Structure 1
Amino acid sequence: MLPTPDSYNQLLLHLYRLSHELPLDRFQDAALELVKPVLPFDSSMWGSATLNPAGIDVHTIHLHRQPPEMLLAYEKVKHLDTAALQVARHPASTLGFHADSWFGSPEQEALRAYGKRFSQAHFFISGTFNPTTRFTRWLTLFRANDRAYGTETERVLLAGLMPHVQQALELNRLTHLNQAVVAAGHVAGRGAAIADLRGVLYHSDTAFEQALRAEWDDWRGHALPTVVMKTFLQGATRFMGRDQVLTLRVEHQLLFLQSRPRCAVDELTPREFTVAQLAARGNTHKEIADMLHRSPATVRTQIRSVYDKLCVGNVAGLIETLRLAE
């Protein structure tokens, strides 16, 4: 049953409320369950990708009531997926179709077999495409029943819902990012951003963009610099630049990043940094020596070196200076 204007508005209000209330790992399934009563479907995939000659190159993907092996199987037939290519070639488009009809050519037999394997008899696909970056965001809804044909009214409904669904997803991610920034405390010059595992930036504040431009004169936005991604892909959680430091954590197929100016703490050796953290916790030099299996005299010397490098004279100053490097 199609929603009335009042129920449609209530759906959107509920959607946006969930975007602020739910954690990353629960929001997308909850959002899809909201859509299901007004636009019935059995399973879904929701993601982002780059369009290339071999088909879509997936960056992020959320599978709803589909097994993980579906994506692996799709990689073998994605070059036959003319529907995904059609959606990805337009700034904004929405399709509704019967799989056997759309993928009806003899060359697409493998794609039809894939669809039957994963109960994808009918499709609704809605997406947006940036022709400059060739980056696309899309939502696909699947119906398993071969007789459950979609209607033009339902296609139009999804076209209207898609911008709200995508905006709510972005708000959910931003809410999560903002909570982390608040938890870290305000530090002058600190920026924040969200990127996917390929380095494409989804959100970045002014301070983060200014940090990247200060570090790389030729940075033009859209993606993290290659050297940063190379560092992160090697397993590091911190990139130390000439003037800026970038840190990250990975959650739900996304990179949550923070930038800050380099500070005196960054000049400490790894051993000095460990000693500084323990001293800031209130441990004595003898306690630190026991924990690190070093002599008290060595630790006392390292603590003195830390204080000199950071230009602090007591534990309170040490704590405050270390906070700048969090």
Structure 2
Amino acid sequence: MDDYNTLLLDIYHAARTLPADEFPAVLMAMLRVAVGFDFARMLRADISSGAVVVHGCIMDNIPTDNALDWETIQRQDVVLPHVLAHPGKPVSFHCGTLFAAPPHAIMRDYVQRYEHRNGLAVMLPDAETGLVDGLSLYRAHDAAHFGLRQKQLVQWLMPHLQEALKLNRQLAMPTDLPPAHGALLIAEANGAIQHCAASALALMVAEWPGWHAVRLPTALLEALRRTGVDRYTGKHLVAHCQRYRTLLFLRVTARSPLMQLSRRELQVAGLYGQGMRAKAVAKALNITPATARNTLQRVYLKLDVHDKAALAVLLRQPQ
């Protein structure tokens, strides 16, 4: 018990003092010493649809591409339903036994490729977000089974791992991020996703259909790697980026329809939406009333609005 208490103190101390780009690796190293494993994955996911939709993933000694391979076989993973049905209860398994039957050939190939011959898995709901945090540990040697002690230790530790990661993200958040509106996405410099809020995920998928929250899309990552670039504007979203050490903190918002407008159209729309009549707008901008009316007509067509009230609502939205 003394060893367990010391481990908890070390975990929370590291969460409070280490940068967010260093803490996950240190956390995994502590867990490796305490439990003993060759490979590990900790993910945050939405399971409300019945499938596991990943919102962020921490890998230890597992290639990043493994996450995409796992998504293709997750519906054949007989461990997953059991873990989801018993939140907070770790389950250990020997893959050679579990997937011995002929229908599980694809699972056996996956196990052989990544050497995940023995496993220990647990999932725990996060009441604040409605998501779940999952931890999967693997051993490469066929006879290296996880025992009762490891299961109990992981069950005790899992709520603290969940809280320590949240604490570390909160403390590491740069204070000079763009305004608070927008969903948070945290990625490593190589594009690996650490955290992706649900609304950010929805916008990213709208921009890049089929995207998974494992790595930043190539177009976004390459744009942010350019010197001086801290904003990406796509068809459906705008992403503001703040760099902190080797992490990218992004605030993702839906692209405002107002971005379709030219500078002059935005000026006319702004004044008209404030309550001015077309003649007053024309006078304020030193243009003819006919130009003001024609410009306003183009604004209505581009924004698909039909009256001043609807225009005023759009103008009040964050851009």
Give structure 1 regions of 4+ aligned residues with deviation exceeding 6 angstroms: 130-134, 196-199, 231-234, 250-254
Structure 1 103/226 Cα, relative in aligned 2: closer, same or farther at 3 Å? closer
- 8 Å contact 2:126–2:133 — kept in the other structure? no
User: Normalization by structure 2: what TM-score?
Assistant: 0.58
Mapping of 1:207-246 within 5 angstroms?
223=199, 237=231
- 8 Å contact 1:51–1:134 — kept in the other structure? no
Q: Counterpart of 1:140 in 2: which secondary structure?
A: strand
Mapping of 1:57-136 within 5 angstroms?
57-129=53-125, 135-136=131-132
Q: Distance in 2 between matches of 1:58 and 1:15?
A: 24
Shift of residue 65, structure 1, vs aligned partner: 0.7
Q: CA RMSD in A?
A: 4.1
Q: Distance in 2 between matches of 1:42 and 1:18?
A: 22
Q: Confirm or deny that 1:146 pairs with 2:139.
A: no
Structure 1 78/258 Cα, relative in aligned 2: closer, same or farther at 3 Å? closer
Greater Cα offset, 155-164 or 60-69: 60-69
Q: Which residue of 2 aligns with 1:40?
A: 36
Shift of residue 33, structure 1, vs aligned partner: 1.0
Q: Confirm or deny that 1:168 pairs with 2:164.
A: yes
Q: Counterpart of 2:47 in 1: which secondary structure?
A: strand
Q: Distance in 2 between matches of 1:129 and 1:167?
A: 12
Q: Counterpart of 2:111 in 1: which secondary structure?
A: helix
Q: Confirm or deny that 1:25 pairs with 2:1.
A: no
Shift of residue 100, structure 1, vs aligned partner: 1.8
Shift of residue 39, structure 1, vs aligned partner: 0.8
Structure 1 40/191 Cα, relative in aligned 2: closer, same or farther at 3 Å? same
Q: Counterpart of 2:145 in 1: which secondary structure?
A: coil
Give the number of aligned pairs.
227
Structure 1 228/142 Cα, relative in aligned 2: closer, same or farther at 3 Å? closer
Structure 2 stretches of 5 or more lacking a match?
187-192, 209-216, 221-229, 254-262, 264-319
Higher-RCO chain (CA-CA 8 Å, sequence separation at least 6): 2
Share of identical aligned residues, percent? 23
User: Normalization by structure 1: what TM-score?
Assistant: 0.57
- 8 Å contact 1:91–1:130 — kept in the other structure? no
Q: Distance in 1 between matches of 2:37 and 2:103?
A: 27
Structure 1 10/80 Cα, relative in aligned 2: closer, same or farther at 3 Å? same
Q: Distance in 2 between matches of 1:190 and 1:52?
A: 27
Structure 1 53/246 Cα, relative in aligned 2: closer, same or farther at 3 Å? closer
- 8 Å contact 1:39–1:154 — kept in the other structure? yes
Q: Distance in 2 between matches of 1:199 and 1:38?
A: 25
Shift of residue 26, structure 1, vs aligned partner: 1.8
Structure 1 stretches of 5 or more lacking a match?
202-221, 240-244, 260-268, 270-326
Q: Which residue of 2 aligns with 1:56?
A: 52
Q: Distance in 1 between matches of 2:149 and 2:100?
A: 24
**Matched letter for residue 160 of structure 2:** H
Q: Which residue of 2 aligns with 1:298?
A: none
Shift of residue 147, structure 1, vs aligned partner: 0.6
**Matched letter for residue 199 of structure 2:** A
Q: Which residue of 2 aligns with 1:300?
A: none
Shift of residue 258, structure 1, vs aligned partner: 9.5
Shift of residue 16, structure 1, vs aligned partner: 0.8
